[in-house]
Copies of this chain bind each other. A is one copy, B any other.
Amino acid sequence: MDDYIAQRSLTRLDESLLTHIPPFSLLSHEQIREILDQATVRRYGEGITVFNEGDPADRFFMVLDGYIRVVRVTPAGEQIISLHIPSGQLFGIARAIGRETYPATAITASEAIILSWPTTVWDHFVVSYPGFSSETYKILGLRMGELNMRVVEMATQQVEQRVANTLLRLVNQTGRKVADGIEVDFSITRQDLSEMTATTLHTISRLLSAWEKHGLVKSRRKHIVVSNPQGLVALARDHG
């Protein structure tokens, strides 16, 4: 975050940006005004690191537009993708779980607009804004649920089922309707998918080719469209 550049908009941020986002939805216009006035906005290109695992957690963030990819790197240098965060969600909330440093690295998965606040205002937010803390912890709960599901899947399912499930989750959570199905809403490579499912890009490539042959998906470079979700669900269920 050495190159962090605060870029408050020349025009003030519009309050309607936050009014429908859960952690803020119970608040008055005045409160949202306060919150926005303390925020820093920044636009990021794709593939930019927002913060690194282990950095002191001196800010917390919210995705206004775009997607964040949360990754961890092993001592051996292997990367694994932990999570994708869609717009409207907070991230980098190490403070909420009593951490002084970020537990993982956050990278933009697409162009993105990110709000951030200094961690020092966290406690103020928690006590002053009703619903902020409970909504935040709900999100934390959802992420724990995802992690748990991931562990169970990796422990019990074959590669093909894991990849099918991951892809389905991806289009459910971040899918965009297109002519011939639902498309993952950000650039995604074979390598990325392999880092989400604990396999190799080669295996992913083979799977996608096979699925395409059976009319389940359509993929081009960095794009994946699920054209037959039903079929994928069947694959994910029926043992192989």
Would A151 and B82 count as touching, CB distance under 8 A?
Answer: yes
Q: A144 with B97: in contact, given A80-B151, A80-B155, A151-B154 (CB under 8 Å)? A: yes
A80–B99 Cα distance when bound, in Å, is 28
**Nearest residue in B to A149 (C-beta to C-beta)?**
B72
A 53-73 binary contact with B (CB < 8 Å = 1; else 0) = 000000000000000000010
Chain A interface, DSSP helix/strand/loop, else mixed? helix
A interface residues (Cβ-Cβ under 8 A, vs B)? 72, 74, 76, 78, 80, 82, 96-99, 103-104, 134-135, 137-138, 140-141, 143-145, 147-148, 150-152, 154-156, 198
Q: How many copies does the complex hold?
A: 2
Q: Which among A134, A143, A145 has the highest number of chain B CB atoms within 10 Å?
A: A134
Distance to closest chain B CB from A105 (angstroms) = 12
Question: Beyond the given A74-B156, A103-B144, A155-B198, could you list 9 further A-B residue pairs with CB under 8 A, ordered by the A residue number?
Answer: A80-B151, A80-B156, A82-B148, A98-B134, A103-B141, A103-B145, A147-B147, A147-B151, A150-B151
Would B80 and A137 count as touching, CB distance under 8 A?
Answer: no
Would A156 and B98 count as touching, CB distance under 8 A?
Answer: no
Q: A156 with B76: in contact, given A137-B98, A138-B98, A151-B150 (CB under 8 Å)? A: yes
